[in-house]
Amino acid sequence: YKYLKSSKGGLFGDGIKWNFTKFLVDRDGKVVDRYAPTTSPASIEKDIKKLIGTS
């Protein structure tokens, strides 16, 4: 939890405004991106596919 917060700051720095904040993490454990609680999982599908190498 602390690692995720410190790796990718959001609108509120490393704080998490709400418990539905999403983090995209690569296979090595590196935080690739952070998404707001209001971001739907479907809207980050292309980012996930790009990360795993599928279109």
- The per-residue pLDDT for range 19-40, each reduced to its tens digit, is 788 999 999 999 999 998 899 9
How far is Cα 49 from Cα 46, in angstroms, rounded to an integer?
Answer: 5
Identity of the amino acid at 8? K
Task: Name the DSSP letter for residue 23.
Answer: E
The more confidently predicted of residues 21 and 45 is 45
Question: Contact 10/16 with Cβ under 8 angstroms?
Answer: yes
pTM, to two decimals: 0.73
**What is the pLDDT, as a whole number, of residue 28?**
93
The two tokens of residue 42 are 């479907």
Please tell me the distance from the alpha carbon of residue 1 to that of residue 48, in angstroms, as a whole number. 20
Residue 1 has pLDDT above 80, yes or no: no
Q: Report the percentage of the chain scoring pLDDT > 90.
A: 44
